[in-house]
Amino acid sequence: MAIVDVECSECGAALQVDEAEMGSTMTCPKCKLPFFVEPAGAYGLVEDPPKRRSRSPRPESDSGSGSAAVEPPETAEQRRIREQMERWAGSDD
């Protein structure tokens, strides 16, 4: 079976896999995230492959686009549960 060059769509790592793996999903040995196995350069018709958003929070100064996610308001049930948990946490003293 032939060996094919592929690129992780999550981190861009260059990998070599068996041709039989084409069209399947595998875990990247570098970033440990799953990606769809396609030939390297399969995204040549678009600018770049889609990247997964970083899991680390961005500093506030970098959010120049002004499209920061807004948390929905707390519901009465969420408030009741939060207050009960705060009471339980305070009762350990």
- The tens digit of pLDDT for each residue in 33-64 reads 888 887 766 555 555 556 666 666 655 555 45
Is position 27 within any domain? yes
Name the domain count of the chain. Answer: 1
Is 0.75 surpassed by the pTM of this model?
A: no
Is position 88 within any domain? no
Is position 25 within any domain? yes
Is position 82 within any domain? no
Residue 39 carries which DSSP code? B
Is position 73 within any domain? no
Q: Are 54 and 69 in contact (CB under 8 A)?
A: no
3-state class (DSSP) for residue 4: strand
Q: Which pLDDT belongs to residue 51?
A: 66
The domain in which residue 18 lies consists of 1-47
Is position 19 within any domain? yes
